[in-house]
């Protein structure tokens, strides 16, 4: 998770809780505060990854951009990735993150993308549940 005001992190933690309730082993990293090397190590340790960030100046939050670069530089492949995007006006984070993995081999993207516009609403609650179900 890479969150500016905490709303994106809140959604990521909801998904973590749902997955843990289903017995899924989960590692959570706050890219704005935690060790980047450990986050990269965790990404390679698991077969599934959920990336949660905000749309930031027409791109993605710099910590998430750096994290994705670390993964793609190290040939991240053969995994499933889910996305959570946040953006008040035009959320674009999921599209940008997907594009970053264009050259990665055997990456499957979850069908569900969680989109929040600043805070969680009824629609995003349903998307959260759907993504957690898909990623278990």
What is the Cα–Cα distance from 113 to 50, expressed in whole angstroms?
10
3-state class (DSSP) for residue 82: strand
CA of 65: how far to CAs of 17, 73, 136, in Å?
25, 12, 25
| pLDDT reading at 4 higher than 80 | no
Tell me what pLDDT residue 2 has. 65
Q: Rounded to two decimals, what is the model's pTM?
A: 0.90
Dump pLDDT digits (tens) for 70-109: 999 999 999 999 999 998 878 899 999 999 999 999 999 9
Closest Cα partner for 109 from 76, 83, 70, 87? 83
C-alpha count within 13 angstroms, C-beta hemisphere, residue 8:
29
Contact in structure between 22 and 91 (CB atoms under 8 Å)? no
């Amino acid at each position: 998770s890479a969150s500016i005001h905490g709303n994106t992190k809140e959604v990521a933690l909801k998904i973590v809780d749902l997955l843990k309730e289903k017995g899924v082993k989960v590692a959570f990293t706050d890219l704005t505060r935690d060790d980047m090397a450990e986050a990269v190590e965790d990404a390679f340790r698991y077969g599934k990854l959920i990336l949660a960030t905000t749309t930031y100046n027409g791109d993605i939050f710099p910590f998430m951009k750096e994290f994705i670069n670390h993964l793609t530089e190290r040939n991240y492949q053969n995994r499933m990735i889910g996305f959570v995007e946040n953006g008040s006006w035009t959320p674009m984070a999921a599209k940008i993150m997907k594009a970053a993995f264009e050259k990665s081999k055997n990456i499957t993207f979850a069908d569900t993308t969680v989109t929040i516009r600043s805070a969680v609403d009824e629609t995003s609650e349903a998307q959260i549940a759907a993504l957690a179900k898909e990623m278990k």
